[in-house]
Amino acid sequence: MLDYSQIQNEHLRELLIHSESINAQDEINAQAVINNIAALGPVQQQEVIQMLEEEQKQIQSSKIAKGITPDVEVAAIEKNRGKLTEIKHEYDTNVRKYEEGKTQKQDEAAAEDLLNQLNN
Amino acid sequence: MKTFQKNFTIQTKRLVYFYGEAQQKGNIEKAEAYRKENDPKKVAELKKRYGGERSEELVKCDLSKKNPDPYLAEQAQKTEKRIKDETVEPDKLEGKYLNAEQVNDNMRKLYKILGKDWDQVKADEAKKAEEDKAAKEKKAEEDKAKAQPAAPEVDPNAPLKFSEIKRIATDSIDKKMDENTKEAVDAVIKELESKIVGKEFKKIDDVKTAIQVAINNMDQKYLMALAGKDMKFSAGNYTFDFKFLNAPGSKDQKYGIQEVNATAIKKVDVSPGAPKEANPDDKGKPGEGNGKPGESKEVTEIRSKVETALKGMYEQYSKMSKEELIKNGDDNKLKLAQDLGLSLKQIEVGLSADLAKLDQSYKIDQLLPNTDTTYFNKNGINVQSFGNFIENLYKEKNIESKEGKDTPNALQYVLQFEGKANEVGAKYDNKDYVAQKGITTYEDFVKNYEADVKSAVATIDKKYVDKIEWNKLPDTVLQNSLYRPVHFQMGKDKPPVIFINEAASRTMWDVAHPPKLKEEPKPKDQKPEEPKEEQPDPNKMKKLPTKTMEAAINKGFENSFDSAFNNDPFAIGTAIKIQLQKLPMTEQYLIPTTYMTPQGFKLEMLHYGPTMKVRVEGITEGVARKYVQKWETQPEPTAQANEKKWSKVLCVDVYGKEKPKPEGWLKTAKSAAAEKEKNGGGPPKPGEAGAKSPDVKPGKPGFEASPGAEESPTEKEVRGKVETSVKKVFDQFSNMSKEDLIKNGFDDRFTLLHAIALNVKTEEKTLMPDLAKLDKTLSKVNIVPGVDATFNKGGICLEKPAAWISDLYKKLGVVEKGPEDRANAFKYTQEFTTKMIALNEKYSSKDFLAKEGIKSYEDFAKKYNQELTTYMGTVDKTKIEWANLPGNTLVYPNYSYASFRLEKDKPVVITVNEGGMRTLWDKANTPKTDEEKAKEDAPDNVDKAKARVEEESKAIFKKYTDLSAKDLVAKGFDNKIKLSDAIMADFKAADVKLLPELKDIKKSYSFKINNDVSIWFNQYGVRPVGMDKFMDGLYKDKKVKNIDTEKGQTPNARKAIDTIMSTMRDTSKKCTDQLGVSKTITTFGEYYKFMTDEITKSVKGLDPKTYEGVEWDKLPDNMIRTPYTAYAEVTKTKDGKEPDLKFNMAYLKGMWDSYNQPGVKKTEFTDLDEAKISKEKADSQPDSPETTEKAKGKVDEEMKALFKKYNDMTPDQIIAGKLDNRTLLVSAIMEDIKGVEGRLQFDLANLNVSHITDIIKDVPVQFNKYGVRPTGLAEWVKKFYKDKKIEDKESKDTPNTRKAEDTISKTIKTINDKYTNSTRADLQKQGILNFDDYYKKYCADLKTSVDALGTGIFDKVEWDKLPGNTFKSPYTYFAEVSRTKDNKDLTYNYNKGMIKMSWDYLT
């Protein structure tokens, strides 16, 4: 996993995380590049930002060329998100039902006790 | 009680549950609103959020797994597994969108910023990798040597038991071995060990299944870590390999492996290092020469070169990844075969000098496993098939071939063609068949073979042709691979053009005709014998009576000298032939005659008669053949009587070496020299009879601007070939009738250009071996009238065929089909050519190369391509009429410097033409001659002059733009004629001032001074161009009416001026059209005389009625005076005198510099400005009602849905969604609007101007190409809350946010007011000529003003109440300004749609 923590500029950090060119390098090289960028002064970092913004434009244009519009991307994310929600929901439901069952048993037991007490 | 209590509990829980449901529903709606959002930036945010949610869930599960309650722990574990299995990590959602080249370029830039050299780093890495590889291979060799000999033969059905398994390194794993991969690899090996080591399997297939099952049952995390990677290991006598699926791309989205390959390890060589004994059988078949033993050293060297080159070619493809192959389109067998064929041809060109030395075909049995037998001979390299290689490559890379999927019928035709060609090939492969046909020479063999192929191919059923999917073929051309024995290319409605692959036919011939036993070498002084078939038997011939012959031939020469082409051997030959034909001809006569033409061609007439033969030396084969064709196909009228007898009267032979020739009675070289000597004329001049051949020095590398006197024999030969070939191409079209041109669609300039380009490319292919011999660029002006060409080892580059086309149309009276239905496609093409011309100027400069540090041709071509591609990427293609283009694709043919291919929604693909690129490269690398230098201006001088001209011109225009409407009227300038007179008088005065400063300027320059006017200047003065537009603009800005026509003050004078102007324009156009073909006008002086004569003639020749009714007394000086902006100031007085013309030398010089071939010079900034202006003009055209309606329909639909969503909300939903806050509600609507804009981007892209729709009551919605903007939202929100009975919490929750928003909005409004209150003239003064300028300036101003507000306005913003804790000013206004609490920098999201609206309002 690459460590971006030394990059202070949030925008730059975002761009680096999404840089395909850097991610295409092996991990050691990529990390070295990131470290080097972190050591740059603000003016040079600005140059890096410009370069990485250009790269993002290249990526965007390539995506559009492949028919991957933001819609398509959103759909892909949503599909996974939907699946995640479904799994989560199922888990929550199971847990809720289980806990409800447990509570219900406790309630019933408590009610039973109460009734017994009242009857007695 | 019990029941009540129970029900109560359940009820309560249900309530709680439903409440939760409602809350969840609100969230879902919010998510839904978010989902519709289309902004690409937001996609990243959404993904980030999804990633966050996913890891949050995983963390939760991880914690719950430790829950003491076993049920909950189990649930957590199961859920964790499901999340990992069924959802994708956010990073895996992202594909790879940049190609290797882009990545490299980006890294190069990045490294540059870091102060490092990326290429060097890569080179070092590659070197290290190479060394590592070598070390690895060495080790493997050593291990192999140590290995036990002779592993037993492997039986696929024998029981198997493995004692161990051993992983083999693979690039995909070992190159990127991180911790996760390492862990996964170890786990896989461990798993496999446990599943196969020590176990017994009945057959190898069982082992494969066991491996597959074992791996697919492993923990998903290992399979994911290895996704897309290859793994290999050995066990026993087998190696096993498999590839891990990359789930998002795999069929059922699963990780794991699909199949396992098992390869038996072959027997190892028992005696490593022992010298190989020659195999006695390994001598090769006669003629094939594959026998390495006994092969000459030279052949072995050539063999090695061929093998190395071929290996390189195969390896290049083997090393490519699946993705790269797919990207290149090589996942199509036909395309891959075509590419391999091209590579093969390149190798042939590279090795042509070596191959030429071969006297037979040599065989390479199997260069690499899976490659086919290959032959090489003097004609090239003949690979029998690429089929095996391709099959294997596809198998290795797991590629499914796409061939024929889109083009099944095209494929059918190829198969039919090759089937027919193969049938013929099979016959010609049979020695007996060849002998039976009486073929004794290779040349006859090829000729017959080609003829038979042509006949066979002609029998292909038409149905195969009819169904070809032309539009899906690259350049609508169908062709098979170049490596095939017969290659063809076919265009729509055209027969196939057939090329015999001589490497293959030579192989056929050589195999059937092995060389005879070596003959004893002849004594050196013995002259080589003439080939028998070329030498008629003199004994069977009679000598023609000399005197009769002499008279006829002399007459022929005389006539030829009288003709316009007296230097042309063809003309001479024709003239002679005509005379000879007049003689009685019944037998063959021997007429040993030589003649040296003034150009240095040696013409030798060997004999004549029914098979007259003339030998010409110094003329290229192509030229000669052309003459033969002409003579054969166009018998002169005088020959009519003897037509039959003379149907084949001439055979032209060409040879380059000096051969002994019989002395004739005509002037020979020797006799001519002797004669000259006798007359005291000194040594003969080049080209004169007896002159020494000038072609003794080899050409220097570089650019040869014109055929020089010092051309080497090779260059001369290549030049001849190129000239013949290119002329042939053009002749093909110029020989067409008008009807044929139209029938073929050639009345469309682009179709014709395509056809020319295609034909030239075909010729280029044939000429490549010759062109490869050139080490510099040669050029030919007027290769056909009006067309120039350059050629070099990269190919041929044509210049200016447009003029030739115009001339052709004119000659034949063809009405050119204009691009009416493709006007925008044409505009795009124009942008391309304009930029290309600008780049050519730049790239042919040595200074530019030095500045950019370009050292190699490859970098040069790449950079040119990149720059052109980048520029074209910015050109608007949204309006291109795709439906009217063949294949919905716009293609610019590759005949000059570059071509492009553009498909809708795809980036433009630019291919440079190597012929053109090398021309520029050679130009840039050729030192300038003093003459050239003398013709150039020093940039400093031009800048200085431009500054002065600009200063003076600006002052003149300012004088008039500063005048108020009242002043204009008072001075009589509300009459255009008077106004233009006054301005031109100022320019004449400026000339007086400026001429001394301009006298040293050698070329003409122009620049745009304002929206309408360009200023031209040169040594003759300064002229504004576009004055009419300027005056129109001035009148419009000042709201002044032009009374010369509108108020009828001088309408007839205006009419007369317009007539004179258009007469001059027409005449100029006619003259300019002739320039391209005229050889006589080569200097400005000649041009000036030509133009002024013609214009004078035409203006003076105007019908006197032109001046009828002219309002003489209302004109300054009572005379007509045309503006001195163009060709001439024409004055005409009332009396009957002829008009007087005072020519505008500065303008004509500008015209000459622009039109004339040498010295075209326009500054680049002008071109760009002009392009921008014309683009802007096109962009301001009103939209058609259809376009508007279509876009409006879409906007209406989206807006209705959007507002319905909010209107349908219940108060609870509004509150749950936190929309009971005006700021947040507007923000949510605007986020939705962004989504709408994303969805409508293609529907809106065609709009030129802004429109409005009132589909939503009280909320007019404006839209244009940049977006959609509702207005009056504030009122709508108020009404919305009122209707829903909701209290706006803004003042309670986010009052300070609102304040900050208001401050920003107010500031933005001030800026907008500043702009919208400006006039066009104000903006022009600021350098704002079009919307792009406006947008740039507007945004910069806006940012400066808002930044100046300081961070104080955000101090009290209620960050925690804002979505994403982010402040955003509403996107309803010209920019959305945002920031977070921690990051104080403001982010601007400019609203181009709104800014365009304000520009549209202004203009």
Model confidence over B551-573: pLDDT tens digits?
555 555 555 443 333 334 444 55
Within B521-579, strands assigned E span 542-543
Residue of A25, A64, A84 with shortest CB distance to B57: A84
Please name the helix (run of DSSP H) or strand (run of DSSP E) that holds residue B1073, with its range, or none.
helix B1051-1075
Report chain B residues whose CB lies below 8 A from the CB of A113.
Answer: none
Q: B176 vs A88: CB contact, 8 Å cut-off? A: no
- Whether the per-residue pLDDT at B1297 is higher than 80: the answer is yes
Residue of B6, B47, B873 with shortest CB distance to A77: B47
Report chain B residues whose CB lies below 8 A from the CB of A90.
Answer: 79
Residue of B50, B98, B110 with shortest CB distance to A58: B98
- The per-residue pLDDT for A51 is 92
Q: B97 vs A59: CB contact, 8 Å cut-off? A: yes
Contact indicator for B1328, B1337 with CB cutoff of 8 Å: yes
Interface probe with A: pick from B38, B98, B875, most Cβ of A within 10 Å: B98
Residues B1171, B834: Cα–Cα separation, whole Å: 9
Residues B901, B1244: Cα–Cα separation, whole Å: 24
- Indicate the SS3 state at residue B528: coil
Q: Is any Cβ of chain B less than 8 angstroms from the Cβ of A115? A: yes
Q: A77 vs B110: CB contact, 8 Å cut-off? A: no
- Whether the per-residue pLDDT at B481 is higher than 70: the answer is yes
Q: Tell me the C-alpha to C-alpha distance, in Å, between residue B1031 and each of A16, B1012, B1028.
A: 54, 9, 5
User: Mean pLDDT across the stretch B972-987?
Assistant: 84
Confidence of residue B656 (pLDDT cuts 50, 70, 90): very low
User: Mean pLDDT across the stretch B673-692?
Assistant: 32
Q: B96 vs A65: CB contact, 8 Å cut-off? A: no
Report chain B residues whose CB lies below 8 A from the CB of A25.
Answer: 107
Which residues numbered 18-37 in A keep a CB inside 8 Å of some CB on B? 18-22, 24-27, 33, 36-37
Report chain A residues whose CB lies below 8 A from the CB of B92.
Answer: none
Q: B93 vs A80: CB contact, 8 Å cut-off? A: yes
Residue of B50, B113, B1383 with shortest CB distance to A51: B113
With 0-12 / 13-18 / 19 or more C-beta atoms within 10 angstroms meaning exposed / middle / buried, residue B1023 is: buried
- The per-residue pLDDT for B1240 is 78
Distance from CA of B104 to the nearest CA of A (A): 7
- The per-residue pLDDT for B1164 is 23
Q: Tell me the C-alpha to C-alpha distance, in Å, between residue B433 and each of B292, B430, B459, B502, B511.
A: 30, 5, 21, 19, 14
Contact indicator for B70, A75 with CB cutoff of 8 Å: no
Interface probe with A: pick from B6, B114, B177, most Cβ of A within 10 Å: B114
Model confidence over B330-357: pLDDT tens digits?
787 777 887 787 777 767 766 776 787 7
Interface probe with A: pick from B8, B21, B109, B1242, most Cβ of A within 10 Å: B109
For residue B267, give the DSSP letter.
Answer: P
* Closest CA relative to residue B1242, chosen from B879, B900, B765: B879
Report chain B residues whose CB lies below 8 A from the CB of A62.
Answer: 97-98, 907
pTM for the structure as a whole: 0.30
Q: Any residues with CB less than 8 A from the CB of B726 and at least 6 apart, and which? A: B760, B763, B783, B784, B787, B789, B796, B798
- Whether the per-residue pLDDT at A3 is higher than 80: the answer is yes
Residue of A63, A71, A87 with shortest CB distance to B79: A87
Q: A77 vs B93: CB contact, 8 Å cut-off? A: yes
Contact indicator for B1392, B1266 with CB cutoff of 8 Å: yes
Distance from CA of A73 to the nearest CA of B (A): 7
Q: B75 vs A59: CB contact, 8 Å cut-off? A: no
Structure tokens at B284: 């090769």
Least confident of A66-80, B1139-1153, B1178-1192: B1178-1192
Nearest chain A residue to B327, by CA = A66
Q: A36 vs B114: CB contact, 8 Å cut-off? A: yes
Nearest chain A residue to B908, by CA = A65
- The per-residue pLDDT for B1342 is 87
Model confidence over B282-302: pLDDT tens digits?
333 333 334 354 577 778 888
Report chain A residues whose CB lies below 8 A from the CB of B83.
Answer: 84, 87
Q: A71 vs B1238: CB contact, 8 Å cut-off? A: yes
Q: Any residues with CB less than 8 A from the CB of B593 and at least 6 apart, and which? A: B553, B604, B605, B664, B665, B666
Q: B39 vs A70: CB contact, 8 Å cut-off? A: yes
Structure tokens at B1387: 């982010």
Contact indicator for B374, B384 with CB cutoff of 8 Å: yes
On whether ipTM exceeds 0.90, the answer is no
Model confidence over B232-243: pLDDT tens digits?
888 877 788 888
Report chain A residues whose CB lies below 8 A from the CB of B107.
Answer: 21-22, 25
- The per-residue pLDDT for B19 is 42
Largest CA distance in chain B: 148
* Closest CA relative to residue B106, chosen from A46, A51, A53, A62: A51
Distance from CA of A45 to the nearest CA of B (A): 9
> B607 or B1210: whose pLDDT is higher?
B1210
- Whether the per-residue pLDDT at B915 is higher than 80: the answer is yes
Report chain A residues whose CB lies below 8 A from the CB of B907.
Answer: 61-62, 65
Nearest chain A residue to B1383, by CA = A10
Q: What mean pLDDT is reported for chain B?
A: 72
Distance from CA of A69 to the nearest CA of B (A): 8
Model confidence over B500-554: pLDDT tens digits?
877 788 877 877 776 543 333 333 333 333 333 333 444 444 444 445 555 555 5
Model confidence over B598-614: pLDDT tens digits?
333 444 444 444 344 44
Which residues numbered 62-101 in A keep a CB inside 8 Å of some CB on B? 62-71, 73-74, 76-78, 80-81, 83-84, 87-88, 90-91, 94-95, 98, 100
Q: B907 vs A61: CB contact, 8 Å cut-off? A: yes
Q: Is any Cβ of chain B less than 8 angstroms from the Cβ of A50? A: no
Distance from CA of A4 to the nearest CA of B (A): 15
Give the rounded distance of the alpha carbon of B522 from its chain centre: 56
Share of chain A above pLDDT 70, in %: 91
